[in-house]
Chains A and B, each alone.
Chain A
Amino acid sequence: MGMSRRLVLASLAGVLAAGSLAIGLHTAGATERPGRRDAGGGNIERGRRLFLVGCASCHGQSGEGTAQGPDLRGVGAASADFQLSTGRMPNTAPDRQSVTKRSPYTRREIDDLVAYVASLGPGPPIPDVNDPPGDLQEGGELYLDNCAACHSASGNGGALSVGRDAPTVHGATQVEVGEAIRTGPGNMPVFGPGTFTRQQVNSIVRYVEYLKKPEDPGGLSLGLVGPITEGLVAILVGLGALMLLTRWIEPPAVREEPPAVTAASPTVTAEPEPATAPEDQQ
């Protein structure tokens, strides 16, 4: 190959690399990240330094845990990635349920932290939600059997005890759904590899994805809350409108006029009353 050709190829490669990096960074802030994550994508040393600054006060200098935060050794990349990506961690109110919020970390920082936590002990890796490919129907059955009890059939979430709740699943990315299943964050049970195969997890992920935009052929979905909203609409909108309508048909006018003098129907000549059977009197 000539020098110029190599130069062209090298520059092409460079452009491609730069382009991918740009695209990668551009989509870093987006919530839809269905692709794979490289478990080894982050830098452990950088992660350790970030950890000491932002996490060690609750989770201990080496992640061994304190009174404020659990032991992170062995929670795995999946758990760390879930907690950090959804912004649950850092947790500003440890006595309450941690909530999804905007993370103060960039995607790269999260990857570094994940790499560090993953290095603390063996634990569930970040699942690959596309391989093996999930089956929508299997996912629906598994979701309704295992998830709907807390997260509701529609994925709207539901109340738990004493102010906790199973949040809506509509805001989670596919990877986050997979991670939650595998790691059981908060009050959620853990569904490890002995419980669900990777295929089964990916099927559930696919169904949850469907629940974000389910088919609504009937019209306004009313949030898929159920009979409560349906009842409110029926009474307030349906019956309410109809009751207002009756007031239009019979306006509550002040009736001061006397009964109208109308053309009285011609008097029917009274027939002699039969001797025995009384007539039908109307």
Chain B
Amino acid sequence: MTATAERPASTIFQRPTSHTGVWSWITTVDHKRIGILYGYSAFIFMIIGGLEALLLRIHLASANSEFLSAGEYNAMFTMHGTTMVFLFVMPMSAAFFNYLLPLMIGARDVAFPRLNALSYWIFLFGGIFLYSSFLFGSGLPPLGTENVPGNLDAATSGGFLANSPDGGWFCYQPNCGPFYSPGTAMDYWALGVQILGLASLISAVNFIVTVFNMRAKGMRLLRMPVFVWMTLVVAFLLLFALPIIAIALFMVMFDRQFGTLFFAASQGGDPILWQHLFWLFGHPEVYVLILPAMGIVSEVLPVFSRKPLFGYAAVVFAGASIGFLGFGVWAHHMFSSGITPVAQAAFGISTMTIAIPTGIKIFNWVGTMWLGKIRLTTPMLFSIGFVALFVIGGLSGVTHAIVPSDWQQTDTYYIVAHFHYVLFGGSIFGLFSGVYYWFPKLTGRMLSERLGKLHFWLMFIGMNLTFGPMHWLGLQGMIRRTWKYAPETGLEPWNRAVSVGAFMIATSIAIFMYNWWTSKRRGQPAGLDPWDARTLEWSIPSPVPEYNFAKVPVVHSLDDFWHRKYDEDENGRAVRKPDADELIARLEHEGNNPSSPIHLPNPSYFPIIMASGIPTTFYGIIYHTTAWGKALIAVGAVVVLSALIGWGMEPLEEPHDAPHDTPHDTAAAH
């Protein structure tokens, strides 16, 4: 009996069957492959977003720079932010969720495998849709402003770089509405983000049902790894926050395309409503960006401290609290927008409150390392770096919570410093920690430690050099999103230093890419448990077989896998069981040789087909005044509807399988 999973043959609708080649990737519903697709896609978008940042930094390295035109500059900072948030950090987190969640809870796949694939393709096409704005978009100056002195016309000037959205990643109204942002650039933004939101909403439902319904026997909720808990909290945040931005984006779309008056200030619309709706989504969104990294760090630190996570329950509840409280702080992004003093005070207090569960997590991470037997591997370095840098970002965040202080800081580089410390020093460092940690599980090989450490230190120094000086640049008065600053301001020297730091970061990423490339081919082979880790995914072979678990495990405690390898002596110290090595060898053998055939969900064409219909319709909406635009709307709708019908009618199981009672061997085939 070989290690391959049995794959049912096709029937009427000819469900695809191959598991090699490009076609198998296009039709995959395997969570691991979907995770890999997310990972590579997100990484490519990171490079693009990084190039946008480098262009910004080359421009800002000099006072009165003309390296980028004003229009190009606006487009670059808008696309940099939008890309990094929606096309890099979120999908990279999704890559981790997808690959690891079923493995960590002892499942064979997620609750709805085809829906999972759909989420990925919608995301990819949404990202491409957004970026097609460079080719098809047009940024035009507001009507009737040709004779207005100042930079209004220049604000949209430039080459193809200026075609893309240029209103900032949060698209304040009415600046990004039909009057002040005519042309199609902001349409690409509004509709593109709408598409991306849909992908995440579908994912959120999928992960929530998976966590609640598909855990292995004995894996009670409070025995799940912290990473799984954070995935769950993130899924709830997305579930409840995304509909809000969906409505807000529909309103923008209706204002821009159909003349409605939601945000038309002179005709009774309220721009502040946009801010409320956007940040009602936007604040939970930033917790969506950070919690996965916190989950990763909570997995990595215990392994390389050879100690259990300090205060597991506290970390879990703190994470859940952060998610919950995250819905109560949004107007701290609006302290200078004219909200009442009462509102400012209330949101200032709620914002300070959210520092409490965050602090609990920090203390618990430190407590995990305290008196532990620390191994400074690359993943560990990135996780420790996360803790240090996130604390710095968090501290500047606390200063924002103090309202009068925030009036000084808002819309300056101080804010830019804050969110880059938490997003780069936090999210990105956490994600890299995860990459180095789980690379062996994904590929069966180790990434080079030498290159990894080089990457880490270069990135750490570069990151601090880039974003550290932004704190005082901001306090010295450098305005956010400023196209030019005069030499008399004295801002140039530190801006130069910042730009140097940015290139250090870029270099470190190039080193990482080289490491990935060579280690995939020639890295040191890793067994199933190269780090001597604690959670279930380390009890199956590396790379992971298609069916995940040859036999679904039964779980008896938190960190069940660790307890199968280690006992505790009277002092609470871990003592390796005498048969631990034999256990590993046995798991390796059993993991690759399931004793009976395992049914896996069939691949399907329909997710990618359905996903393609959505941007088609949205292109049509942008150009709906033309005949072909209207046609595109219809075509897209027909594609989606047909795919839906095909999806519903696709046979789930083959006729000869019907007598088998396999709902728990297979993932629920949806």
Q: Say if A and B assemble together.
A: no
Which B residues are within 8 Å of any A CB, using their own CB?
none
A residues with a Cβ closer than 8 A to B are none
